[in-house]
Copies of this chain bind each other. A is one copy, B any other.
Amino acid sequence: MYTHRVNYYETDKMGIVHHSNYIRFMEEARVQFFKDINFDYFELEKQGIFSPVVALNNCKYRKPTHFGDDILIDIKIKQYNGIRLVVQYKMFTNDTLVFEGESEHCFISQDGKLIKLDENNFGALHNKLTELVEK
């Protein structure tokens, strides 16, 4: 599970982590998740495949977090069909759910064209994501 330690610069004048930063923590955890299953974003982008965020949904701020807190981030692949990927996040501090949300992604080439992944096109990544979808 990925851990983000809250930085001073991520707090705001309410004394808590600014809500926009959780969207960045989602990305940090997603990058690490892909690395853990042997797909490095940096390498994927060098191979010409990008996976931009096309939607954020059901992002719920359950509890505030503070400077120095460790936020543990749990990730699940919720949906995947070769064209569209939905990733689900749950964040915990001291065993308390502090945030949950979902990001939706497509796949594009360097010049912005949509890519459909299948067994013959980025097959290893396709098979892994298919396998990881929550039953």
* Interface residues in A, total, Cβ within 8 A: 39
Contacts from A to B (Cβ < 8 Å): 7-9, 11-16, 18-21, 23-24, 27-28, 31, 40-42, 45, 50, 52-61, 64, 66-68, 101, 112
Bound-state Cα–Cα, A67 to B40, Å = 11
DSSP majority for the A interface? Answer: mixed
Q: Which residues of B contact A15 (CB under 8 A)?
A: 13
Determine the chain B residues whose CB is within 8 A of the CB of A50 once the complex forms: 14
Residues of B within 8 A of A45 (CB): 13
Collect the chain B residues with CB atoms within 8 Å of residue A101's CB. Answer: 56
- 13 new A-B contacts, CB < 8 A, other than A42-B67, A56-B56, are A8-B27, A11-B13, A12-B13, A14-B50, A16-B52, A20-B20, A20-B21, A20-B27, A23-B23, A41-B68, A54-B60, A55-B61, A64-B112
